[in-house]
Chains A and B, each alone.
Chain A
Amino acid sequence: MAGSIAERVYHLKRSRWSVLAGVLPILSVYVALLVIPMLLLGQFSLYRKLTGEMGQVVLIREVSLANYAKFLASPFYFRILKDTLVMALTVTGLCVLLGYPVAFSLSRARRWKGILYLLVLAPFFVSVVIRTYGWMVILGHNGLVNWLLLASGLVTAPVPLIYNYTGILIGVTHIMLPYMVITLEAVLRKIDRSLIEAAQGLGANPWQAFSRVIFPLSLPGLVAGSLLVFALSVSIFTTPSLMGGGRIHLMSTIIYEETMGQVNWPSGAMLAWVLLVTTLAVLGLSQLAARRFEWRR
């Protein structure tokens, strides 16, 4: 006969249904708020928008690939997609270069660990908009950086650091850095310190111990952090739209412009899907590449 409730729960836990039960809440949120809207967007991307004689927007509910054909035929769109990918890759690279030393020191820190961790996370406590305005103050024409450059005599005229590509890179890298640091640190922290001693005992100097032991062992964290930063950077909107000053177009800003400015939902939806597919393709390819570095525990 059936056992106690505890027993039945135990058996339930062992079954594969329990896995489903565990992910069901988050899965339903994903389906309701992400999958269904994205599918609806996909549907929209196959329609067309017409502007009526009186300026009214008319949605032609005819399935066609016209929007995608427009994308493929447009060097303008291609350049924006390319700029977006290059921006996201550059940001990822900058985050690796700037984040690795921070994550490494953080993973070795003892006494100040809590405070250092808080400092790394501090940017999250301030809204993206506020942070971006902060950068505008620092990087602007009459900002701190230019004042210092002019005062030191390094330049004779203010350097444009904002409302251009450079400004976007600085702003987005700043926002993405904590993600890289946290992901990397989690992996670096788990690397057994005695491995460094083992390497040194075998004759490896500190640099060799790092390059032959620590670095290879941190690769999973580097890959995970890079994927995270790349995926977030590719679709980031607030910072590029503010720091770019409307002069630099990225996929996110152009999607906003098509959808809200031009009220061309089908075109905006098409661009959103192009971005989604491209991002997934890049992530998939890098996963394949990452597998070559992988070792099984």
Chain B
Amino acid sequence: MANITLTVNGKSVSASVDSRTLLVSFLRDHLRLTGTHVGCDTSQCGACVVHVDGRAVKSCTMLAVQADGSSVVTIEGLASAGGDLHPMQAAFREHHGLQCGFCTPGMIMTAVDMVNRKGSALDEATIRHELEGNICRCTGYHNIVKAVEAGAAAMAGGAQKVAAE
């Protein structure tokens, strides 16, 4: 067992965990933050993406003890404290970028990270390339790409396109 202290969605958390506990298991089973999902166990699908110290991480590939001292943001921590949706969350709804919703938290966390790294003027080819670590079985990615493009623009303060095309 190991004692860890980290910040999750702005709140300090301390726990004693089995050394082999994955970060995703810690979030889901210890903190009951079940918005982060496990889709594949092999770091391929991206349903488990969270932000660790501002960078997108597949939380099925990181031990909870490795996050000791870090600041973690999950999908539950993305909206404002007052409940306003993050622009990327709003864009996914506006552009029908989700169907069953299972990959969606990871997609949104990846998309926010993409904008943080690449800026808000993202073209389709860049978005598609950057999404290679996130698998969606429902949408065919068409509307996810549109959502990310619009969400990126909204993060920069630009107007969102109104209609899902």
**Are chains A and B native binding partners rather than an unrelated pairing?**
no
Residues of B within 8 A of A (CB): none
